[in-house]
Amino acid sequence: MKRLFLLVAAGLTVVALAGAVGLPDLAGAQSSDATDSITVQGVGTVDAVPNEAKMSFGAESRAATAKAAVAANADAMRKILNALRQAGGCELATQWVSVYPVTDETGQVSEYAASNSVSAVSDVDDAPALIDAAAEAGANQISGPGLSSSNAEALYRQALAKAVADARLNAEALAKASGRSLGTITTILEGGASSPEPYYRTEAKGAADSATPIVPGQQETVATVSITFSLR
C-alpha cells in the first residue's frame, strides 16, 4: 500500500511540474487566433462615349414561287452587301435567311416572301453613311444601332478600381464609428459588371449634316465588389 501511495504522489508531482513549466494551453491558443472583421460593398462607375455601332440590314422580296422569291432576295442582298462594304462596314455576318408563304384573305397562298438580314459594325461617325448607303441599295429592313466602346475591358477595370476604393471608404467610416481601425483585406469578391446603359446628349458630331443622324450619348460602366477587412 505504501508503494502505491508513493506512485500516485509522484504522478501528481509530474502534473504540477507540467503546469509550472507552462505546457501549451489549448483553450488559450484557439482564442488568440480569433479576429474581428467587417464586410462592405463597393461600387465604381466610369462614363464614356461609345465609338462603335452595330446595325442590322435586310431585305424582303416577294414572288409567285419560293424559288423566284429566294433568287430575287439574293440579288437584293448582294447589292446591299456591296454598298455596306463601300461605305466602310466591317464584320459583316449573316443573321438569318427565311422563306415563307403569304396567304390572302381566303387562306390561299398568294405568293412567297424571302428575307435575309446581315449585321455590320462601323465607327459611330460612319454609321449614318452606312444606313443611307444600305437604304439606297434597297435595304427595307434596318435596325439598330447597338452602341459600344472598343475599350470596354479597360473601362471595366477602371470601374473595378473605383469600386475597391469605394469599399475601403465605406469600411473606414464604419470602423471609425465603432472606435476601431482597419487591418488587412482578408477576402475580396468581384460582383461583376452591369450592362452599359446610354444616356443621350442633345448634340453629336456629324448629326446636323447627315441624312440619318446618330447621337451616341454616353454609356455608364458599373463594377461592384464585396471586401472583408480585419479590424484592429
Q: Are residues 187 and 204 in the same domain?
A: yes
Is the separation of the CB atoms in 147 and 108 below 8 Å? no
Residues 98 and 161 in one domain: no
Q: Is 58 left (phi over 0), alpha (psi -120 to 50) or beta?
A: beta
My answer on whether omega of the bond before 196 falls inside 30° of 0, hence cis, is no
Buried b (16+ CB within 10 A) or exposed e, 52-91: bbebbbbbbbebeebeebbebbeebbeebbebbeebbbee
- What is this structure's pTM? 0.64
H or E stretch including 174? helix 152-177
Residue 220 lies in a domain: yes
Domain endpoint, select from 109, 126, 148: 148
- Could you tell me if residue 103 is inside a domain? yes
Question: What does the pLDDT read at residue 3?
Answer: 46
Measure the CA–CA gap between 146 and 200, rounded to whole angstroms: 14
Q: State whether the Cα torsion 105-107-110-112 is positive or negative.
A: positive
Range of the domain at 212: 37-49+151-231
Query: 171 and 42 in contact (C-beta within 8 Å)?
Result: no
**Judgement on whether residues 172 and 200 belong to the same structural domain of the protein:** yes
Residue 96 belongs to domain with CATH number = 3.30.70.2970
pLDDT tens across the length of the chain (232 residues): 444 433 334 443 333 333 444 444 433 333 334 469 999 999 999 999 999 999 999 999 999 999 999 999 999 999 999 999 999 999 999 999 999 999 999 999 999 999 999 999 999 999 999 999 999 999 999 998 999 999 999 999 999 999 999 999 999 999 999 999 999 999 999 986 665 544 333 233 333 344 678 888 889 999 999 999 999 9
Tell me, yes or no, whether 44 and 119 share the same domain.
no
pLDDT at 217: 82
pLDDT of the residue at 192: 67
The Cα 62–Cα 168 span in angstroms is 63
Q: Which three three-digit cell numbers place residue 154?
A: 479597360
60: Cβ–Cβ under 8 A, 6 or more apart, which residues?
73, 113, 114, 115, 140, 141
Number of domains in the chain: 2
b/e per residue, 181-202, with b = 16+ CB within 10 A?
Answer: ebeeeeeeeeeebeebeeeeee
H runs (alpha helix) in 22-98: 26-32, 66-86
